[in-house]
Structure 1
């Protein structure tokens, strides 16, 4: 292994040895070979340790934590252990296409900003269909909070960022870590805080270079619905959003988490939150009503039929 690799790849994992070994092998197959892979095992997990030890590659490092601290904490600890000037993140259930890091390093080298953050499009893979997200890239001068939250149609994904697509300077990760304890929207929270840091510029690769596996038959954090915690986070983070973005997030993302409650009180609370502290547009109201009116499975099926190509 080189004394100073070009990229450190951080993969947090827990109790998913088959998935994390697939993720590691995908990183080791990158066209960029000057890298290290830091797998942070989030708490005791003998099966995961045993599976990773079968991968014979000196670029792989395993960091085992004595107790569970959550994915944001594991990412932060992995970034702290990184020896490279660049840190890229990969969730254990996702995969990278072979040229992912090569494209990102090239884009970072072309950026005049001292602290470029480079993301990519991804292939959103559900049991029914594949679709590419984000469907569009940021426009010049567009507020990032609006790009990441406003919809131009009834389905999410117009603007989007996901953890497995992010590569950032190690220096930035030491100054702007992930928020420990936040269960959902970890990448949105980090990105909106990171771009406020002096010298940071967000760039996107135009091609999809990550496969985001949306397996719906297994436990995933992104399928949990801690809407009360998310509302608390949103209120505490109001300065990160424009009024338009605040309303859009409340009436789409937050409502998607809360709608399974079928509670009229929650419906009214979120509508009042969006109107009281944000500035909803007509499409926000349509989105809000269809989220509360349609069962999640039906909405997901409609989304895949409209946006995806059948698998």
Structure 2
């Protein structure tokens, strides 16, 4: 029986070649995750012609698709395409490079049943280090790379002189054995010994989103200006759905302040991105308008960035202040992985502690997601994406005072919280592989639904929580709310202990 191929519609220039060719290979393991990501991109880019060679994976719905193609036909399509996306198969990557492309590569993940082992993850990581592919591990990162490849095609082309010699050598048995050796994927999290005193401290931009909290904002700005940091600190105050206060702007000294208005999606994510895009420095820090930095916070974090050029994000501990009660929250580790974050939110990694390499977002995993309903947990979702690129560094000392109070933006917005957390579970199916993490998020949804008065939905999510992890305490807290205990009482008891839900 002959396979039927759905051909893409002609390009605007009259040719019938696709703009983007996606090759998933012929492995019998399904790679539906990549098909789904491409379909989502196709739905928002209907002017593009996208062809997916999907093998044994699901047929794409928005993009055009064919299960298999002869090698010569696939090579011809790749040569005519504007962008080539592949799985982490060595043969497919070599073919894309022979067709003149620096391929965008999404490796198969064995934990998701996409392959028998993690050799694609290791192989692609090695090739990316050598500059032979552009790897990505999240839909946001893929979409950013596709946008960049379409707008700057020369950055994703390779010439005849730049052959696949390094790729061929990596295919040799010795290289593959080296790639799958234990510990090959995990860098040493220990900080390097401090060298001589830093004499050239880089400029840092601090993004402070704000809305209707002028007194707290001024306190936040004062703490930033009083940092024990020898370099320049530029603060960008982003007003979100609020009238900006131009009197805050100043340009003198090494602590200038700029005042801008959120020009992107209303909400915290859009406000953060407005600030990130307005920044002109490699290092960008976040600080909420009701939190305050301790004097040595930024200096300690920048020193880590200087010692470890491969680090994308540095966090630190916090002191939570609620109703004049203080609780210190620090992690006793210096490195946090993607798996760690699936298992626990690790609220010690608060967004007001973030110091990020701007290029890790702009040219890497993408900026703060503006798709999350209400921008709830946007910081956690960004942590997950950055942790997929490599371990997050943490300084196990307090650097920020975090104010929890009844005027917090998400206080009582239970339906927004429930919707956002359901979105998170849908976008990160990896949670189902970590029962503790899946139960944690499901329990939060159950509590939010109960607090919103949705009894049936709360009971369903309580059941989901208990099936994932019978000992999950959030299921009990949600059930108490279903029985009539005011959710505010429970939240206050947690906050007094420096804990959230």
Aligned to 1:232, which of 410, 417, 422? 422
> Are the aligned partners of 1:41 and 1:63 in contact in 2 as well (CA < 8 Å)?
yes
Distance (whole Å) between structure 1 residues aligned to residue 218 and residue 428 of structure 2: 39
Give 1:261 shift: 3.0
Q: Which has the higher contact order (CA 8 A, sep 6+)?
A: 1
Instruction: Go from structure 1 to structure 2 and tell me whether the alpha carbon gap of 1:292 and 1:110 turns closer, same or farther (over 3 Å shift).
Output: farther
> Are the aligned partners of 1:43 and 1:66 in contact in 2 as well (CA < 8 Å)?
no
Distance (whole Å) between structure 2 residues aligned to residue 41 and residue 77 of structure 1: 10
Q: Does 1:170 find its partner at 2:343? A: no
Instruction: Go from structure 1 to structure 2 and tell me whether the alpha carbon gap of 1:108 and 1:239 turns closer, same or farther (over 3 Å shift).
Output: farther
Q: TM-score, normalised by structure 2?
A: 0.52
> Are the aligned partners of 2:338 and 2:391 in contact in 1 as well (CA < 8 Å)?
no
Instruction: Go from structure 1 to structure 2 and tell me whether the alpha carbon gap of 1:44 and 1:67 turns closer, same or farther (over 3 Å shift).
Output: farther
Q: Does 1:121 find its partner at 2:317? A: yes
Q: Does 1:209 find its partner at 2:209? A: no
Distance (whole Å) between structure 2 residues aligned to residue 106 and residue 129 of structure 1: 31
Instruction: Go from structure 1 to structure 2 and tell me whether the alpha carbon gap of 1:85 and 1:237 turns closer, same or farther (over 3 Å shift).
Output: same
Aligned to 2:449, which of 253, 258, 283? 258
Give 1:71 shift: 1.4
> Are the aligned partners of 1:44 and 1:66 in contact in 2 as well (CA < 8 Å)?
no
Distance (whole Å) between structure 2 residues aligned to residue 193 and residue 142 of structure 1: 8
Distance (whole Å) between structure 2 residues aligned to residue 72 and residue 304 of structure 1: 24
1:81 aligned residue: 278
CA RMSD, 1 decimal: 2.9
Q: Does 1:268 find its partner at 2:455? A: no
Distance (whole Å) between structure 1 residues aligned to residue 478 and residue 330 of structure 2: 20
Return 172-181 or 186-195, whichever deviates more. 172-181
Q: TM-score, normalised by structure 1?
A: 0.80
Give 1:63 shift: 1.6
Instruction: Go from structure 1 to structure 2 and tell me whether the alpha carbon gap of 1:202 and 1:25 turns closer, same or farther (over 3 Å shift).
Output: same
Give 1:132 shift: 1.6
Unpaired runs of 5+ residues, structure 2, are 1-200
Unpaired runs of 5+ residues, structure 1, are 150-157
1:109 aligned residue: 306
2:75 aligned residue: none
Q: Does 1:303 find its partner at 2:494? A: yes
Matches within 5 A, 1:180-199: 180-182=370-372, 183-197=375-389
What is the total number of aligned residue pairs between the two structures? Answer: 286
Matches within 5 A, 1:20-39: 20-32=217-229, 33-39=231-237
2:128 aligned residue: none
Give 1:165 shift: 1.0
Distance (whole Å) between structure 1 residues aligned to residue 274 and residue 336 of structure 2: 34
> Are the aligned partners of 1:44 and 1:67 in contact in 2 as well (CA < 8 Å)?
no
CA deviation digits over 1:155-185, x for unaligned, max 9?
A: xxx6542211111101012132111143211
Return 64-73 or 131-140, whichever deviates more. 131-140
Instruction: Determine helix, strand or coil for the equivalent of 2:388.
Output: coil
> Are the aligned partners of 1:138 and 1:159 in contact in 2 as well (CA < 8 Å)?
no
Instruction: Go from structure 1 to structure 2 and tell me whether the alpha carbon gap of 1:281 and 1:141 turns closer, same or farther (over 3 Å shift).
Output: farther
> Are the aligned partners of 1:124 and 1:211 in contact in 2 as well (CA < 8 Å)?
yes
CA deviation digits over 1:202-232, x for unaligned, max 9?
A: 011111111111121x252354221442243
Instruction: Determine helix, strand or coil for the equivalent of 1:115.
Output: coil
Distance (whole Å) between structure 1 residues aligned to residue 378 and residue 336 of structure 2: 25
Would you tell me which structure has more strand in proportion to its own residues?
1
Instruction: Go from structure 1 to structure 2 and tell me whether the alpha carbon gap of 1:160 and 1:147 turns closer, same or farther (over 3 Å shift).
Output: farther
> Are the aligned partners of 1:10 and 1:75 in contact in 2 as well (CA < 8 Å)?
yes
